[in-house]
Structure 1
Amino acid sequence: MKARSVILYTVLRLAAFLVPFGILMLLPIMREYYLLAAIFAALIGLSLSMLFLRRPLEEVTAGLAERRSRARDRVSDEEAEDAAASASASAPASADEGPEEEPGVRDRGQ
């Protein structure tokens, strides 16, 4: 994933909110109702980002998907240990060894 595309998308999303918010705050009525101005700016920013920021969003999501698929391809420690344990359990036991007992099973009822 490219850090440039993530930073670019984040800056553009912030600008899509801050520019309308700044313009709305220039109106005298919105100075009193700054929360309403923030809500309107958020809606305007969301609309602008859906219309104009589709390509940067696709670049960011493609990078995240690639990074996730690379992480999924790596074998974790737990998976390696499970594979080693199942391989040793399926190996035939030698004739010298007696049957395996679970710990704490020896002294039951004898």
Structure 2
Amino acid sequence: MSNPRTAWIVYIVLRLLFFAVPFAVLYAIGLTPWVAAVFAALIGVALSVIFLARSRSTASESIYEWRNRDRTADDIVEDEAVDAGASNGGASAADAPSPAPASRAESGATPAAEQRRNDS
């Protein structure tokens, strides 16, 4: 099953069957629908872990390839830098110190406007 599309179809159909068949059997023997659904879900998960490892692996590889299809070396370096900053508790741009206020001559502010700004 090297074709990712086939792996996806097989995986989805079998997962649905691994739930639907136990649900139908449990419901037919008289369990309430929600109890039958809970047990069918548990049975479906167990069966999919046991029997669908190969198609799940192929499907996850196709997700990985699709996710990384357009990544350049620059994108990878940027992602690593972001991850390193996040894991080191790095400061964000909001945490960076604000630049020093410009002088009145540089900002073109009048003395009254500067006073109002300083008062607030």
How would you bin the TM-score normalised by the shorter chain? 0.5 to 0.7
Separation in 2, partners of 1:57, 1:46: 12
Q: What CA deviation, in whole Å up to 9, does each residue of 1:5-55 have, x standing for no partner?
A: 212211110011001111111203x1xx11001000000000000000000
Matched, 1:36 2:35: yes
Where does residue 10 of structure 2 map in the other structure? 8
| SS of residue in 2 equivalent to 1:16 | helix
Where does residue 25 of structure 1 map in the other structure? 27
Give the AA of the match of 1:14.
Answer: L
- For 1:39-78, list aligned pairs within 5 A: 39-73=38-72
Q: How many residues align?
A: 80
Larger RCO (alpha carbons 8 Å, 6+ apart): 1
Q: Which consecutive unaligned segments of at least 5 residues does structure 1 have?
A: 80-104
Separation in 2, partners of 1:62, 1:27: 40
Give the AA of the match of 2:34.
Answer: L
Root mean square deviation of aligned Cα: 2.6
Displacement after TM superposition at 1:68 (Å)? 1.4
Separation in 2, partners of 1:11, 1:74: 37
Separation in 2, partners of 1:63, 1:25: 36
Separation in 2, partners of 1:9, 1:75: 35
Q: Scaled by the length of structure 2, what TM-score is found? A: 0.57
Displacement after TM superposition at 1:107 (Å)? 2.6
| SS of residue in 1 equivalent to 2:35 | helix
Runs of 4+ displaced beyond 4 Å: none
Give the AA of the match of 1:22.
Answer: A
Give the AA of the match of 1:108.
Answer: A
Q: What CA deviation, in whole Å up to 9, does each residue of 1:58-109 have, x standing for no partner?
A: 0000111111121333878xx9xxxxxxxxxxxxxxxxxxxxxxxxx56335
